[in-house]
Amino acid sequence: QKEVEQNSGPLSVPEGAIASLNCTYSDRGSQSFFWYRQYSGKSPELIMSIYSNGDKEDGRFTAQLNKASQYVSLLIRDSQPSDSATYLCASTGGGGSYIPTFGRGTSLIVHP
């Protein structure tokens, strides 16, 4: 059974610090990886996608993928209180499937 594992948190960081969110996946055939941000009571919003090994940067966000270790991470630089949310990791592509497998999410709290 395909699984995506995340630490539920909460992860608490001070404003301005780097928040590091981690995710591991069980399906070695997974090809695409996504990070969603979900504010309480709102819809999950895609913030990063990554398909190849290495780092991908977009503004204050950096996604890192290591397929050999089956590990994906999201770094948020200069964390702001508005970044406080639940971050969902998801993967697709294992066995040709385009349906994402989600983790349970990590709660991030950025305190002033």
Partner 1 sequence: EAGVTQFPSHSVIEKGQTVTLRCDPISGHDNLYWYRRVMGKEIKFLLHFVKESKQDESGMPNNRFLAERTGGTYSTLKVQPAELEDSGVYFCASSQEDLMGLSSYNEQFFGPGTRLTVL
What does the binding site for partner 1 look like in residue numbers (CB under 8 A)?
A: 4, 31-32, 36, 41-46, 49, 51, 88, 92-93, 97-105
State how far the Cα of 75 lies from the Cα of 21, in Å rounded to an integer: 6
Q: Are 21 and 34 in contact (CB under 8 A)?
A: no
Residue 100 Cβ, how far from partner 1 at the closest point, in Å?
7
Q: Are 85 and 37 in contact (CB under 8 A)?
A: yes
| Alpha-carbon torsion, ordered 45, 90, 76, 110, to 10 deg | 70
Residue 4 Cβ, how far from partner 1 at the closest point, in Å?
7
Residue 19 Cβ, how far from partner 1 at the closest point, in Å?
21
Amino acid found at 62? T
State how far the Cα of 94 lies from the Cα of 13, in Å rounded to an integer: 34
Residue 46 Cβ, how far from partner 1 at the closest point, in Å?
5
